């Protein structure tokens, strides 16, 4: 049981990390709030489903189009909405949350709720690891999650655009004096964040089903991981993902499943009390971000 | 004189014409049926569709006789969202009050999805004196309130089954499994909502404990849970032969996927909402052979060839909407409720709520889910023979994708089969 719990805890951790890295990129690194993140996650899944199931397109083409469309939509959200309220944190939150709410409620309105709304797994197989059955999809999540996190770290530390992202987050005015176009960078960060949400959906949705309510869950989990890890810190996202992932699985196994859902919220509370900027966060005035 | 007579004649003609026009207008004024429920969920959505099917049939046949005139039904719906995770009950009840005040329905059908919302909503229904024929929320708590204060809560009826009846059927299923295969170790998993909690507890105390089964685990899961790996590992490690799930949330389909992926050697037998309808075979890539699932009301999700009325309803729904009923709970009693309401109005001869309620209490009709009568708590009486009571059913997925009704015997089309990979202990 212990080994099995550890294996599923590691997988759960990578699921949380995958859910959070896109949000961390946009909010944490570039300081741009995108509370439509959860809705974009769900939207990309529905787009894939429509292309795959209704239009009978090949799988890889469907998910590729879905990821690209979601990425584009992220950019449009910034250009058409966020640009007008840039710098006003509360307005950014309200505007993007409103967009997210509209997207999710639209799917509910059209009755797109039910277990038939799901995506296929990449490989339909199970493996035995240390006496525990684990399906291939979950192993893929762990593998791709690790690659994406490393890739994001390299991107933000060793590419000019990535360094620009971090520059904007540190001090926008100073970044402007270096010739960094803050609006262009913000557009890119929101777009890439949305794209990462779409990749996460492609990997995680096949474990269950697509549901509008999932959008709210994803937003809360992403926020929890980013706040606990520290906004702007990729390392923090990994550590926080593991902290919450392990806490959830071990709580489920050894205490009771009905306590699992509050773990994320209790973890946020504890971290905010002990270290308000998060485990690896450097920002001192966290409340200005929220 | 002539002038006087002319004026009087015109006056009385006008009065006569006005009276005729008024009565014609009254005859066409529809009787509003309000449908407040969680329309974003399968059971809510298909229950609304079943109501609309019944309304179309009744209107096509001329409508509802109210006194000397016939009037059509009209459906007004509102999404309470009470089944969505995190939606507080007071917020859901705002929707209930809104539809009553704005649409002025003669009666409500379907009603709140969650028992928590129904229990709290009973005071609103009592306040506005609008009869409700509930077809989804299942906690017996509502009947207790009705019996304790019938004058206040008499407007609330339940056409679907309640958790007590679910317990009887699940216990009956487990007894069959024990009888056929000798299985006696079970893991109970249920959703953390009122009806599922009560169901799991009662099956445990009224059947498993008394029959000497070993309960290797009893876990509750909040609505929205999407990882059941811990429980499935416990089931495997402790050798449970049967998993009894009690879930109505869409995410419970994840349990089926994980059960399959982790190759847990135990039979799934309970109620999982996504497993109920015919489309589940395709949804789960045909990997659900051997699992059994309860259908809460015959006609919802499955009909029986041994009870033609259920098949007629099931087929008519498919003809109207182009797809089969997928929800195993809600559609059949919702359809039935419209006819119950129609007959009560016709017997009462008016739309007075107290008169309608008095007639609904006398309901005794043969419908799509069996014979429908209400007990003192305004609960439709469920049993095992559709000629005597309303019935539920349990079916088993065959390895070829067919759903075979295996319980109760009065409508069974086959016997329980041992799923591949499991060995009988007999």
8 Å CB contact of A212 and B40 = yes
pLDDT, position B18: 53
Q: What stretches of B84-178 adopt beta strand conformation (E)? A: 107-110, 132-134, 156-158
Please, what is the average pLDDT of chain B? 91
Q: How far is A117 from chain B (nearest CA, A)?
A: 8
Q: What is the pLDDT of residues A232-256, one digit of tens each?
A: 777 888 999 999 999 889 998 988 8
Q: What is the pLDDT of residues A128-167, one digit of tens each?
A: 998 889 989 999 999 999 999 889 888 888 998 888 888 8
Cβ contacts of B226 on chain A, cutoff 8 Å: 207-208
Q: What is the pLDDT of residues A39-93, one digit of tens each?
A: 999 999 999 999 999 999 999 999 999 999 999 999 999 999 988 888 788 898 8
Considering A13-27, A114-128, B5-19, the range whose residues carry the highest mean pLDDT is A13-27
pLDDT, position A30: 65
Give me the residue from B192, B257, B326 closest to A114, CB to CB. B326
Cβ contacts of A111 on chain B, cutoff 8 Å: 39-40, 45
Segment A92-117 mean pLDDT: 88
Q: What stretches of A170-287 adopt beta strand conformation (E)? A: none
Of A179-193, B7-21, B284-298, least confident by mean pLDDT is B7-21
Give me the residue from A118, A133, A211 closest to B283, CB to CB. A118
Q: Which residue of B has its CA nearest to A261?
A: B222
Q: Which string of b and e fits A67-78 if b means at least 16 CB within 10 Å?
A: bebbbebbbebb
pLDDT, position A288: 46
| Residues of chain B above pLDDT 90, percent | 72
8 Å CB contact of B230 and A256 = no
The pairing of strands B107-110 and B132-134 is: parallel
pLDDT at B240 over 50: yes
Residue B65 has phi, psi (to 5 degrees) of: -80, 120
8 Å CB contact of B274 and A209 = yes
pLDDT at B19 over 70: no
Which stretches within B29-114 are classed as H helix?
42-60, 89-103
Q: How far apart are CA B38 and CA B117, in angstroms?
A: 11
pTM of the model: 0.80
Q: What is the pLDDT of residues B334-392, one digit of tens each?
A: 999 999 999 999 999 999 999 999 999 999 999 999 999 999 999 999 999 999 999 99
Q: Which of A6, A114, A216 to mutate to test the interface with B (most CBs of B within 10 A)?
A: A114
pLDDT, position A173: 83
The pairing of strands A126-129 and B69-71 is: unpaired
Question: Is A130 within 8 Å of chain B by CB?
Answer: no
SS3 for A135?
Answer: strand
SS3 for B241?
Answer: coil
| Domains assigned to chain B | 32-161+307-383 (3.40.50.2300), 164-295+392-407 (3.40.50.2300)
Q: Which string of b and e fits A225-257 if b means at least 16 CB within 10 Å?
A: bbbbbbbbbbebbbbbbbbbbbbbbbbbbeeeb
Q: What stretches of B38-166 adopt beta strand conformation (E)? A: 64-66, 69-71, 73-79, 107-110, 132-134, 156-158
Where does the pLDDT of residue B39 fall: very low under 50, low under 70, confident under 90, or very high at 90 and above?
very high
Q: How far is CA B307 from CA B17, B54, B297, B332, B388, in A?
A: 52, 19, 13, 13, 12
Strand partners, B156: B132
Question: Is A135 within 8 Å of chain B by CB?
Answer: yes
Cβ contacts of B84 on chain A, cutoff 8 Å: 213
Q: How far is CA A122 from CA A13, A140, A207, B392, in A?
A: 20, 9, 11, 38
**CA neighbours closer than 13 Å in the CB half-sphere of residue B117:** 29
8 Å CB contact of B40 and A113 = yes
- The burial class, CB within 10 Å (0-12 / 13-18 / 19+), for B300 is buried
Residue B16 has phi, psi (to 5 degrees) of: -65, -45
Please, what is the average pLDDT of chain A? 87
Segment B70-90 mean pLDDT: 92
Question: Is B291 within 8 Å of chain A by CB?
Answer: no
pLDDT at B20 over 60: no
8 Å CB contact of A211 and B253 = no
């Amino acid at each position: 049981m212990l080994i099995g719990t550890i294996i599923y805890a590691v997988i759960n951790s990578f699921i949380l990390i995958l859910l959070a890295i896109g949000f961390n990129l946009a909010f944490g690194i570039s300081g741009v709030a995108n509370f439509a993140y959860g809705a974009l996650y769900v939207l990309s899944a529905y787009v894939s489903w429509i292309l795959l199931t209704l239009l009978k397109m090949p799988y890889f083409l469907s998910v590729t189009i879905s990821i690209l469309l979601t990425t584009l939509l992220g950019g449009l959200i910034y250009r058409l909405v966020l640009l007008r309220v840039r710098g006003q944190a509360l307005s950014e939150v309200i505007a993007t949350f409103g967009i997210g709410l509209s997207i999710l409620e639209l799917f509910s309105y059209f009755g797109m709720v039910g277990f038939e709304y799901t995506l296929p797994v990449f490989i339909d197989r199970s493996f035995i690891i240390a006496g525990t059955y684990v399906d291939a999809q979950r192993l893929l999540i762990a593998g791709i999650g690790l690659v994406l996190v490393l890739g994001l770290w390299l991107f933000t530390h060793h590419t000019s655009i990535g360094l620009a992202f971090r520059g904007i987050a540190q001090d926008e005015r100073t970044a402007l004096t270096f010739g960094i176009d803050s609006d262009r960078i913000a557009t890119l960060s929101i777009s890439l964040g949305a794209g990462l949400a779409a990749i996460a959906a492609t990997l995680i949705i096949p474990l269950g089903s697509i549901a509008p309510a999932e959008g709210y869950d994803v937003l809360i989990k992403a926020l929890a991981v980013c706040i606990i890890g520290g906004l702007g810190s990729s390392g923090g996202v990994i550590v926080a993902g593991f902290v919450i992932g392990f806490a959830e699985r071990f709580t489920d196994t050894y205490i009771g499943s009905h306590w699992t859902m509050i773990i994320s919220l209790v973890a946020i509370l504890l971290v905010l009390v002990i270290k308000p900027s998060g485990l690896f966060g450097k920002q001192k005035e966290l409340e200005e971000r929220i | 004189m002539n002038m006087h007579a002319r004026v009087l004649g015109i006056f009385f003609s006008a009065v006569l014409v006005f009276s005729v026009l008024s009565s014609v207008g009254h005859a066409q004024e529809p009787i509003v049926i309000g449908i407040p429920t969680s329309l974003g969920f399968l059971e809510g959505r298909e229950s609304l569709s079943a109501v609309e099917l019944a309304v179309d049939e009744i209107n096509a046949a001329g409508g509802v006789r109210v006194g000397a005139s016939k009037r059509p039904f009209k459906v007004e719906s509102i999404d309470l969202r009470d089944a969505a995770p995190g939606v507080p009950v007071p917020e859901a009840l705002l929707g209930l009050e809104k539809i009553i005040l704005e649409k002025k329905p003669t009666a409500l059908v379907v009603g709140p999805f969650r028992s928590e919302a129904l229990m709290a909503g009973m005071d609103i229904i009592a306040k506005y004196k609008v009869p409700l024929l509930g077809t989804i929320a299942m906690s017996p708590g509502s009947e207790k309130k009705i019996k304790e204060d019938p004058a206040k809560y008499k407007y609330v009826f339940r056409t679907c089954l309640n958790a007590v009846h679910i317990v009887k059927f699940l216990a009956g299923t487990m007894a069959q499994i024990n009888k056929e295969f000798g299985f006696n170790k079970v893991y109970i998993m249920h959703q953390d909502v009122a009806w599922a909690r009560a169901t799991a507890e009662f099956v445990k105390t009224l059947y498993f404990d008394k029959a000497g089964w070993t309960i290797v685990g009893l876990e509750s899961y909040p609505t929205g849970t999407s990882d059941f790996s811990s429980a499935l590992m416990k089931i495997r490690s402790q050798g449970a032969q049967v998993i009894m799930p009690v879930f109505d949330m869409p995410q419970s389909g994840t349990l089926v996927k994980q059960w399959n992926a982790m190759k847990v050697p135990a039979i799934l037998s309970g109620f999982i909402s996504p497993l109920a309808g015919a489309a589940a075979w395709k949804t789960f890539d045909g990997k659900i052979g051997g699992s059994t699932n309860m259908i809460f009301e015959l006609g919802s999700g499955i009909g029986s060839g041994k009870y033609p009325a259920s098949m007629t309803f099931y087929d008519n729904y498919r003809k109207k909407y182009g797809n089969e009923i997928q929800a195993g709970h809600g559609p059949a009693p919702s359809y039935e409720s419209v006819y119950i309401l129609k007959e009560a109005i016709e017997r009462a001869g008016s739309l007075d709520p107290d008169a309608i309620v008095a007639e609904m209490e006398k309901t005794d009709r043969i419908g799509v889910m069996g014979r429908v009568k209400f007990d003192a708590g305004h609960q439709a009486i469920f049993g095992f023979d559709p000629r005597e009571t309303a019935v539920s059913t349990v079916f088993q997925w065959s390895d070829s994708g067919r759903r075979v009704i295996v319980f109760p015997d009065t409508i069974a089309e086959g016997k329980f089969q041992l799923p591949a990979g499991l060995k009988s202990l007999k």
